[in-house]
Structure 1
């Protein structure tokens, strides 16, 4: 798999799938989640409500898929990252699950490109360096015959610098 790094707005990325750092309600929120729901339009929210009605909330580390609404992607994979509480091993495993489960779901959709935001590093306060290491390691260790390109989309300079250092 080819790994790319972009500083920018994930709602403007042309990829088969963009990943949303969702909350367990799946009903939108702040940060990346709010931006994706605003840019994608009501179709994404309506599909999230259908998922909630079918399965209840989305648990931390799990992932679900909706169409991409008005976004330049085919799908949005919504994954719920862990809120940082200092329990490094448990939180790290849950964050790794976000990336693994999103990649598995993308494979099941038979897509070639997937774009990830910096999951859990905003209001969920996951340490950015640790989150970056987990993201890159999980993607590098994931074997796929289907996914050709993984794009890490950093919204700010700090995350971009962290990912550049990890990827060198």
Structure 2
């Protein structure tokens, strides 16, 4: 769906965080600005206790003034592919780390008894992940998580402020589930094949 993730009425929203949980720019800053300093304060406590997070990990904090129950901070990988090494192997490694960030976010949401979650295009933007690759990986990771777990999550929203990114999410949904399984109702596109409802 196209929209501001900080304004959604869902149980959890995912923040594309860096390994220090320093929410000083981009969507991370927007989330802290909307939710209040408690989000950054709790993030700082997590890092002081356990150190920097690794790519693919996710933790959560209180939401402050946001409408959700939890803010889940997912550390996606940077698309820093070196030309002097096996490019295909590097790309696969980055994709796996992004998929881990998604599955860890879903697991963290379930730990807090969340029934709905909003996920942005983690690792795109300043982290450099190609949007088509990013959206593909996220959709596949949600599908795999659903098939491999007896999940209590009922609604997964794929969210961005950009028409282009939302279009990529839609194309990824259609690739993995078939055009007939993605339909529009109001401003949402639902994926009917899953136990979960995955919406744009």
- Same fold, TM-score > 0.5, yes or no: yes
The one of 141, 158, 161 equivalent to 1:155 is: 161
Match of 1:15 in 2: 10
Establish whether residue 38 from structure 1 lines up as the match of residue 41 from structure 2. Answer: no
- Inter-partner Cα distance in structure 1 for 2:164 and 2:92: 24
Larger relative contact order, structure 1 or 2 (CA cutoff 8 Å, min sep 6): 1
Which of 97, 100, 121 pairs up with 1:97?
100
Deviations 1:110-149 (A, max 9, x none): 1100100110110011011011110001101212431001
Equivalent residue in structure 2 for 1:51, among 46, 70, 73: 46
**Partners in 2 of 1:102 and 1:20 — Cα distance?**
10
Q: Would you say the 8 A contact 1:32–1:117 is kept in 2?
A: no
Q: For the pair shown, which has the larger CA radius of gyration, 1 or 2?
A: 2
Structure 1: runs of 5+ lacking an equivalent:
1-5
CA contact (8 A) 1:8 1:155 kept: yes
- Decide whether the 8 Å contact of 1:112 with 1:149 is kept in 2: yes
Give the CA RMSD over aligned residues. Answer: 1.0
TM-score by length of 1: 0.94
Aligned residues: 163
- Structure 2 portions without partners, runs of 5+: 82-89, 175-200
Q: CA deviation at 1:29?
A: 2.3
Aligned to 1:127: 130
